[in-house]
Amino acid sequence: MHPRNLAPAQTLPWRSWYSLQSWRTRAKHQLHEHPLCALCDEQGRVTPATIADHHPRHGGDYNKFVLGPLRSLCRDCHQGVWAVDKRGYSHAVGDDGYPIDPRHPFNAA
């Protein structure tokens, strides 16, 4: 890797990487190439994407942040609003630490 590209990884927390011009350019390009939300598209919804999401997640790895694959998402998908639809149940847990959704496999067992 070019030393110039190592600098942000070493000097900035990963959340700051999103404010780098190189990321803004890449995210803009992603949304230009793939203007619709990938997850909505899978479910037959046509939704304009507003967020370039690392998929799989970069996990704080600058190499993956810069080079890893991206997908376009709408705000709702990025926030996991539809996650329950896809999985079929919620991962939310109650005060006792057990899943509260009756559809969760734990409760179905």
Residues that bind Zn ion (CB under 5 A): 37, 39-40, 47, 74, 77
Minimum distance from residue 53 beta carbon to Zn ion (Å)? 10
Nearer to Zn ion, 8 or 74 (CB): 74
Nearer to Zn ion, 12 or 55 (CB): 55
Nearer to Zn ion, 37 or 99 (CB): 37
Minimum distance from residue 15 beta carbon to Zn ion (Å)? 22
Minimum distance from residue 90 beta carbon to Zn ion (Å)? 18
Nearer to Zn ion, 19 or 43 (CB): 43
Radius of gyration of the chain (CA): 18
Minimum distance from residue 34 beta carbon to Zn ion (Å)? 12
CB 71 within 8 A of CB 27: no
User: Residue 70 CA to chain centroid, in angstroms?
Assistant: 9
